[in-house]
Amino acid sequence: MMPLDSDPDIRHDWTKEEAEGIFSLPFNDLILKAQALHRRFFEANRVQMSTLLSIKTGGCPEDCAYCPQSAEYDTGVKAEKLMAVDDVLKAAKEALDAGATRYCMGAAWRNPKDKDLDAICEMVEGVHALGLESCATLGMLTDAQALRLAKSGLDYYNHNLDTSAEFYGKIITTRTYRDRLETLDNVRHAGMKVCCGGIVGMGEGPEDRAGMLMALANLDPHPESVPVNMLVRVEGTPLGDGAGDDLDGLEFVRTVGAAKIMMPASVIRLSAGREQMTDEMQALCFLAGAGSIFTGDKLLTTGNPGSDRDKQLFERLGLSPAAPDARPN
Ligand code: SAM
Ligand code: DTB
Ligand code: SF4
């Protein structure tokens, strides 16, 4: 295969008009294009499985309007301390036995304190010793913190742009888009793989969905992993039930397909919101190029389909789990 940096399908110069043009394609054309590109880079019928664990839940000082873990909203999520390393590794072993190949540890922090990183690095080492890939999402990182995590062997760092630069201020006021890009830079320079995506269904317009994908696809290199989350409405958050119209399901599928067209060698993850989706809707997302899901009956604090339903889904669609870090074929 051609090296990714000379492949004409891998571009970092997307304009807003081009991104909007992809969203406006007839649905069948968008899906066909996305699926054809997906097959150029990945095995068509394999889906990678990651499992999440909230290692530090609730009490977060940030004000992300979608998030049940922000201390500003009364959502019933209790603030807890960082979990003990042994408990995290016990849960990782269970995820491994259930078929996950990557373990993602999430903390409701604005940023980790240097002293927290001792325990986090031990968790990363333990996750590797089990034979799992590791991922963490701990908020903003300094250069030095990113280097420390990379040295402990952390494979991926998740830090989302969440939405377009224009809509961002309506969702989060306690940290800027620029702050997020800076953390992504630090992660990249430290040599870790980048997991970066966003959420749709927050009341943004089509131009914001296109703008978010443009910002992601103009990162050079592209994030290796791109989570596309459908907003999970949590009571008590500003985006809870009744805060606006739900996004049309087909517009969500278009977002997955447009992400694949703009970042064809990246793994697009069908992330939050699967519990509320039908099998048919998820099938369309796989057809649009989603190559990864979160498995297990919980995301961080909200529900996820669980292994019985996912097993049935895979059987219905003839899908099988991908090997760890299934890179372009
Ligand atoms: N605190 C860290 C941070 O924000 O970087 C890490 C954890 S945070 C929960 C990770 C991501 O989960 C967010 O960036 C957001 O995209 C997603 N997320 C959180 N709550 C969500 C919800 N209710 N629906 C969909 N996605 C959500
Ligand atoms: C991402 O983009 N989605 C995951 C992961 N990265 C950390 C988190 C989804 C969280 C959904 C809300 C919750 O369960 O608290
Ligand atoms: Fe905190 Fe992350 Fe939730 Fe924002 S998304 S409130 S930073 S846990």
Helices (H), 13-60: 16-23, 27-41
Pocket test for ligand 2, best of 66, 180, 269, 299 (most atoms within 8 A of CB): 299
**What average pLDDT values come out for the chain (329 residues) when binned by 10 residues?**
81 97 98 98 95 97 98 96 97 90 96 95 96 96 97 97 98 98 98 98 97 98 98 97 93 98 98 97 98 95 94 97 63
How confident is the model at residue 3, as a pLDDT?
A: 74
Q: Which atom of ligand 2 is nearest to the CA of 77?
A: 15
How confident is the model at residue 98, as a pLDDT?
A: 86
**Which residue's CA lies nearest to atom 2 of ligand 2?**
227
* Cβ-Cβ contacts under 8 Å for 245 (sequence gap 6 or more): 203
Q: Which atom of ligand 1 is nearest to the CA of 233?
A: 23
How confident is the model at residue 325, as a pLDDT?
A: 63
Q: Which residues pair with 175 in a beta bridge?
A: none
Sole residue written with tokens 């099938």: 283
How confident is the model at residue 1, as a pLDDT?
A: 63
Cα(161)–Cα(2) distance, integer angstroms: 29
How confident is the model at residue 285, as a pLDDT?
A: 98
Q: Which ligand is nearest to the CA of 234?
A: 1
157 in helix, strand or coil? strand
Q: For residue 177, what are the CA distances in angstroms to 170, 173, 237, 247?
A: 12, 10, 21, 23
Ligand 1 centroid to 67 CA: how many Å?
6
Pocket of ligand 3 (CB under 6 A): 60, 62, 64, 67, 69-70, 108, 139
**Which residue's CA lies nearest to atom 8 of ligand 3?**
108
How confident is the model at residue 329, as a pLDDT?
A: 39
Give Cα 98 to chain centroid, integer Å.
20
Sole residue written with tokens 């800027």: 176
**DSSP state, residue 168:** G
CA angle, residues 240, 241, 243, in degrees to nearest 5? 75
Residue 57 phi, psi dihedral angles, 5° rounding: -105, 140
